[in-house]
Amino acid sequence: MPQGDKSSYTDKQKRKAEHIEEGYEDRGVGHKEAERRAWATVNKESGGGKKSGSGRGKTESHASSRKGGRKGGSSQNHSQRSAAAKKGWETRRKQGHG
């Protein structure tokens, strides 16, 4: 089987990769990179193509799907984070905890 051949994947795996790819593109990732990441995610979760061979019936790990958009870190930008830290510091200082 040549590299990049998707014939050994199930229809469900293909749909899953398409859905993941769309999610990456919605977040501003380029088409080729989104496709690469999507198939990498499918491979990580299911262990590659499932149509033939002795690997059938193994359970799938969905940890990488759960991680999803949260991997990038804080949702706050630098100035918001800084303002929150200053506010917390002021509160602790006034209450005598600092």
82: in domain: no
pLDDT at res. 81: 87
3: in domain: no
pLDDT at res. 1: 64
43: in domain: yes
The number of residues in the chain equals 98
pLDDT at res. 91: 92
78: in domain: no
Ranges of residues in the chain whose predicted pLDDT is under 50: none
- Ranges of H-type helices in 1-98: 11-26, 31-46, 63-67, 78-95
80: in domain: no
34: in domain: yes
Q: Which domain holds residue 36?
A: 9-49
What's the predicted TM-score (pTM) here? 0.58
pLDDT at res. 55: 57
Number of separate domains in the chain:
1
Radius of gyration of the chain (CA): 21
pLDDT at res. 7: 87
Yes or no: say if 91 and 49 are a contact pair by the CB < 8 Å rule.
no
